[in-house]
Amino acid sequence: AQKITQTQPGMFVQEKEAVTLDCTYDTSDPSYGLFWYKQPSSGEMIFLIYQGSYDQQNATEGRYSLNFQKARKSANLVISASQLGDSAMYFCAMREHQAGTALIFGKGTTLSVSS
């Protein structure tokens, strides 16, 4: 069964610094996708970045990059040059590609950015 683990309940970073949010996963399916979502205090869920298990390169989307280490089963989110607006809850998620499976989430990490 697939499983997602986020071990950092809270992280603190200063503006303009980089921060890494950890995510490990477990699956027996060789084909799967990994996702990161952001949830600001307003409550909506915002998709940030996607990484496929067969992708050769780490995904990047603007200031977001995904440090994908397949052998370690980790998919850490790196936010470069943090901004005050990055303060939010961040969720890692995974979905196996075999038919009939669901997308599951980790428990999330709260990121606080200070000036």
Site residues, another protein (CB under 8 A): 6, 9, 31, 33, 35, 37, 43-45, 47, 50, 52, 91, 93, 95, 97, 99-100, 102-108
Tell me if residue 15 falls in helix, strand or coil: coil
Residue appearing with tokens 């027996």: 28
Question: Cβ closer to another protein: 52 or 69?
Answer: 52
Q: Cα angle vertex 61, ends 59, 65, to 5°?
A: 50
Nearest distance, CB of residue 56 and another protein, angstroms: 14
Question: Cβ closer to another protein: 11 or 33?
Answer: 33
Give me the helices (H) in 26-68, please: none
Question: Cβ closer to another protein: 85 or 100?
Answer: 100
Label the pairing between strands 109-114 and 10-14: parallel
Nearest distance, CB of residue 28 and another protein, angstroms: 17
Cα gap 32→98, rounded to integer Å: 8
Nearest distance, CB of residue 64 and another protein, angstroms: 14
Question: Cβ closer to another protein: 81 or 108?
Answer: 108
Nearest distance, CB of residue 11 and another protein, angstroms: 15
Cα gap 21→109, rounded to integer Å: 7
